[in-house]
Amino acid sequence: MPNSVAKIDLEQEKDQILSRYRGLLRGLRTDRTPEGTRLIRKAFNIAMEAHSTQRRKSGEPYIYHPIAVARICAEEIGLGVTSVVSALLHDTVEDTDITLDDVREMFGDTVATIIDGLTKISGVNWQTDSMQAENFRKVLLTLAQDVRVILIKLADRLHNMRTLDGLPREKQLKIASETLFLYAPLAHRLGLYAIKSELEDLALKYKEPTVYADIEEKLKKGESVRKRFISRFILPIREALEKEGLEFEIKGRPKSINSIYNKMVNKHVTFEEVYDVFAIRIIVDSKQELEKADCWKVYSIVTDYYQPSPDRLRDWISRPKANGYESLHTTVMSPGGKWVEVQIRSRRMDEVAEMGLAAHYRYKGEEQHANAMDGMLNKIREILADPGSNALDFVHDFKLNLFSDTIMVFTPTGEMRDMPKGSTALDFAFEIHSQIGRHCIGAKVNHQLVPLSQPLRSGDQVEIITSRKQMPKEDWLNYVVTARARHKIKQALREQKRKLAMVGRDAVQHQMRTWGAKVNKENIAVLQDHLLASSPNDLYWQIARGRHDLHKLPPPQVKNGRLHMAKGKLTMEERPLEEIVAEIRGNQGGTLTIGDDVQNMNYKLSPCCHPIPGDDVFGFITPGEGIRIHRVNCPNAVQLMSNFAMRIVKARWKGKDSVEFLAGIQFSGIDAVGLVNRITTIISRDSNVNMRSISFESKDGIFEGKVMAYVHDAQHLHSLVEKLREVPEVRRVERIDH
């Protein structure tokens, strides 16, 4: 008897599998050729056989999953045969004996490439933030190759979220968190609004089950009231649209549970106080050339009956969103005193809005990609092109550039550019052309001169002012937000450093010959050790920066062309703060290492003394503000060290050669003809220093000057001060803190 029961179950499952497979074929929206059907049947048979012994956690046959994913691809995203075949086979390479070469041989390179990308994504292991970020980069690498990889992965994730009940709580939380972190924003960016909303709702369901159930219950309770309200609201609009002879459909649907929850949290209101828990959607059947006019005609009819909110009109028909979304949104006041959102769009726009750009470009051939996505893919490639960024920077750049809202900015000739919200005038310069960005010295926004760091607003007209003498500066990285600008600035800074190192290399080689030593790796390594440089390039760079004057070094011993010099020792100025702070706190605790590799640590350089690398510094724990870095000779240092000894943290610098810092020098002396020119030459040319500002005042034959300049560290600043003291007319030079 048990055997017959088992047999009946297997027969039922077989019938269910065939039923689901036929549903998949019916759901394929694109024109299905006999060849396409043959390929799908072949993929289905292979998947059936490969997964025949596997079952899901719920106990169902595993084959249900790939069929469901393929159906989502076909019905909800609108993909074609190639994607459906890939979806059916997406788990075979990872979970069964079938290899990628087998897939390539049976279905060709395109399907094999897509499945390879899907296998790489599913193999990632999400742990810490940085680990998650590193895997985010892997996901994007596959997206840059073929966007279908991500579309199928989104379908896979959506089915997993729909069937999450069978997993333990911690697994549910992990998968829901990944979904919110990566997959829902990606669905949004690809224009898949229906999938994005469902992913967010399902993630909320497992992360906050009580909240989700509460909102869901309240939506169900208010459903009948809402339906009556919508019927009354749309009645006059329906009659007017029919008089105009328009073919249309009107839908009233509640907002997603997640968007209602976000409004409750962000606006600190209860469910009852969220006024737009639903939206009215009017879909017009129009020819493509009449879409825009018909949508505005509908808007005119709606606003004839209901008063619109002037600041709530969103026109994404004249200028669609970057992901292809087109719609006209307005919020109007209903007779009962409630605000109601009305969305107006054509049938084509509605399909693109629900299923994304993939609904528009069907992937009928294996090599035919969605051209409308090229711009987005190019941006992804730009972000991936920066080898210097760490994974967390990469995630920041990607989310900022691809998930943020966009603004429209105009060139002086009226050409429009889409930029991420928060972009600055300097970002815009690099958006126009990398050379314009490199040589940018200023910008005019709406004919007014503004700083390069000025954030732009939608509608701004921007004119970039350039100079051939201008070169990118390190601090530019602080006020650009686009990946393109960051990448180009870092590239230029690396070029500058390389050129400067070549100047230093020539100086080293010349001095070696003067000493009578051979110019070879061994002798350069000896000089490097003597001057405490970390590498030959670091040595050349220090020499070019003026940190060491080779002419002033004691003549070294040279035997048979070999250089003999003692290994250098740290001077008192270069030593870390170990001894000073040890007197206060003893030798307990570690040392705070300040540098470019720990930017996520919550520390700030104190404005009261402007510490720069090379200064003896200490950290001071400020409640609520993290750690403030002060110079040991800061005016406040004594008070802090004596009164708050337990809040002192030992600190030392690391990675000195990667950032420039703003420092001030003031000097005075006897005025003379050509003095200003000599001083500026010493600062900018002889010392390779970028000046931010310089001022001179002369009175009764005495001059006073002040310069704010970007220096690399205390040694670099000291070198500049010494050179200025060598000018005969200059009598006093000192560093200033403000």
Q: Are strands 278-284 and 314-315 parallel, antiparallel or unpaired?
A: unpaired
95 is catalytic: yes
Length of the chain in residues, anyone? Answer: 738
Selection from 162, 76, 39, 71 nearest residue 358 by Cα? 76
The single-letter DSSP state of residue 55 is: B
At position 442, the amino acid (one-letter code) is G
Distance, in Å, from the CA atom of 115 to the CA atom of 362, rounded to the nearest integer, reads 19
- Please name the residues in contact with 716: beta carbons below 8 A apart, sequence gap of 6 or more: 545, 546, 547, 614, 687, 689
CB atoms within 10 A of CB 265: 10
Which of 60, 95, 208, 729 is an active site residue? 95
Query: 620: helix, coil or strand?
Result: strand
Contacts of 447 (CB under 8 A, 6+ apart): 461, 463
φ/ψ (deg, to 5) at 152: -70, -40
Closest-CA residue to 621 (of 613, 612, 630): 630
Q: Which among 289, 286, 259, 284 is positioned nearest to 274, based on CA atoms?
A: 259
Distance of CA 397 to the CA centre of its chain: 2
Alpha-carbon span 472 to 478, nearest angstrom: 12
- At which residue do the structure tokens 């790939």 appear? 66
Say whether 629 sits in a helix, a strand or coil. strand
| Burial of 46 (C-beta count, 10 Å sphere; 0-12/13-18/19+) | buried
Q: How many CA atoms lie within 13 A of 545 on its CB side?
A: 26
Whole-angstrom Cα Rg for the chain: 33
421 contacts 406 by C-beta, under 8 angstroms: yes
Sort 716 into a burial class: Cβ within 10 Å, 0-12 / 13-18 / 19+.
buried
Q: In this structure, are residues 699 and 665 in contact, taking their beta carbons and an 8 Å threshold?
A: no
Contact criterion met (CB below 8 Å) for 199 and 184: yes
| φ, ψ dihedrals at 82, nearest 5° | -55, -45
The helix or strand, by DSSP H or E, that contains position 675, with its residue range, turns out to be helix 675-681
Contact 574, 614 (CB under 8 A): yes
What is the SS3 string spanning 424-458?
EHHHHHHHHCHHHHHCEEEEEECCEEECCCCECCC
Q: Among 94, 249, 405, 506, which one carries the catalytic annotation?
A: 94
Q: Collect all residues with Cβ–Cβ distance below 8 Å to 319 and sequence separation of at least 6.
A: 408, 416
Alpha-carbon span 434 to 472, nearest angstrom = 11
Question: Active-site residue 94, yes or no?
Answer: yes
Give me 714's structure tokens: 């205390």
Cα gap 676→699, rounded to integer Å: 14
Q: Which residue has the tokens 């994974």?
A: 391
Is the Cα torsion angle 534, 540, 544, 550 positive or negative in sign?
positive
Q: Hey, what are 431's tokens?
A: 């958006």
Cα torsion through 514, 515, 516, 518, rounded to 10 = -100
Residue 207 gets which letter from DSSP?
A: H
Q: Quick one: angle between helices 483-515 and 521-530, nearest 10?
A: 100
Tell me whether residue 252 is exposed, middle or buried, using C-beta atoms within 10 angstroms of its C-beta: 0 to 12, 13 to 18, 19 or more: middle
Distance CA 614, CA 310 (A): 57
Q: Which residues are catalytic?
A: 94-95
